[in-house]
Amino acid sequence: MTFAAGEPAMLFPAIEHRHRDLRNYPHGVAFMDGQYLPMWEAKVSVLDWGFLHSDATYDTVHVWNGRFFRLDLHVDRFFRGMEKLRMKLPYSRAEIESVLSTCVALSGHKSAYVEMICTRGGSPTFSRDPRQAENRFIAFAVPFGSVANKEQLERGLHVAISNTVRISPKSVDPAIKNYHWLDLVKGLFDAYDYGAETALIVDTNDNIAEGPGFNVFTVKHSSLKTPSYRVLPGITRQTVFYLCHELNLSVTACDVNRDELKSADEVFITSTAGGIMSVTKVDDNSIGNGKVGSVTRRLTDLYWQKHTDPEWSTLISYE
């Protein structure tokens, strides 16, 4: 079933139910080309510039206990990314939010990882002029996944600092979520070679930048710092600033060098995929006493409490 571009969200087809039920969608649901599909049926053309040139932007929001967390901020950033990349879609904000909700509802997942994507698409004439490409919208909902597993969350992650340098913001604006991940992937392999579980890479001044899909914070004498240069200003990172305000904790976005990271009382990373996650070892250095710190625990507890707050979360209808 398809719909015309610009139809009101209330007219979006939930799906052609007929003899289908939610058990047919255990792994997730995608929305492509005006229809809802099981994830394994969602395909992207090899001629799409999103595949050929990594010419795409996206955003990811998570669902916890049947509620989107900070949906408004994620959709805001998605639209800003499209505007900066000169992409346009025939769907309004309300329509996109409706698609995301429907993907989750059809999947039946109460805790989910939900992505919205705009690719450059392709040109019907195979033109190399990006102005002639037909931009494409894709969305999907799959079971919730975290950067850190349960055991890692309890003991804290082991992170290695790679010498890989983050892509320059003069080349690619880090405020636009993108799939330019080769620097981050190289950093991951460096970390695995070191025996660590994930990586942080650096900026051109050899200060800490970010990791593959996450920001990082240090805690020293109950004051927090997070890198500000060449990093994606993550939604969970932004959320930590709000939480610090509530807890009367000092937090600053500034340069963070290797020594500051290794000598911190506490270190944690932040991501939509996992929330606030402790780091208890950097390279060969134990952080603090080698256990999850008290400031990290306070922030983590408040972070998950906010998931039931109507001002921070959006209830999903599964009917």
Torsion sign, CA atoms 217, 260, 185, 277? negative
Helix ranges, the chain (H): 49-52, 71-84, 93-107, 150-155, 182-194, 235-246, 258-262, 294-305
Distance separating alpha carbons of residues 182 and 195, to the nearest angstrom? 20
pLDDT of residue 16: 42
Residues of the chain with CATH 3.20.10.10: 150-307
Amino acid in the structure at residue 270:
T
pLDDT of residue 126: 85
pLDDT of residue 25: 53
Question: Are the C-beta atoms of residues 250 and 244 closer than 8 Å to each other?
Answer: yes
Q: Which residues pair with 279 in a beta bridge?
A: 157, 267
pLDDT of residue 303: 98
Buried/exposed 78-108: b ≥16 CB within 10 Å, e otherwise: bbbbbeebebebebeeebbbbbbbbbbbbbb
**The domain defined by 150-307 carries CATH number 3.40.50.2300:** no
Distance separating alpha carbons of residues 252 and 223, to the nearest angstrom? 8
The tokens for 110 are: 């109460």
pLDDT of residue 26: 59
Residue in the block written with tokens 């040139």: 53
Strand (E) positions, the chain? 29-32, 35-38, 56-64, 67-69, 112-122, 134-143, 157-165, 198-202, 215-220, 223-226, 250-253, 266-271, 275-282, 285-286, 313-315
Distance separating alpha carbons of residues 219 and 107, to the nearest angstrom? 39
Distance separating alpha carbons of residues 190 and 198, to the nearest angstrom? 9
Distance separating alpha carbons of residues 178 and 260, to the nearest angstrom? 29
pLDDT of residue 15: 39
Residues of the chain with CATH 3.30.470.10: 9-143
User: What global pTM score does this model have?
Assistant: 0.90
- DSSP, collapsed to helix, strand or coil, labels residue 213 as coil
Residue in the block written with tokens 């909902």: 141
Please report, in tens digits, the pLDDT of each residue of the chain (319 residues total): 333 333 433 333 433 433 345 445 558 999 999 999 999 999 999 999 999 999 999 999 999 999 999 999 999 999 999 999 999 999 999 999 999 999 999 999 999 999 999 999 998 888 899 999 999 999 999 999 999 999 999 999 999 999 999 999 999 999 999 999 999 999 999 999 999 999 999 999 999 999 999 999 999 999 999 999 989 999 999 999 999 999 999 999 999 999 999 999 999 999 999 999 999 999 999 999 999 999 999 999 999 999 999 999 999 999 8
The tokens for 31 are: 């929305």
Is beta strand 56-64 parallel, antiparallel or unpaired with respect to 112-122? Answer: antiparallel
**The domain defined by 9-143 carries CATH number 3.30.470.10:** yes
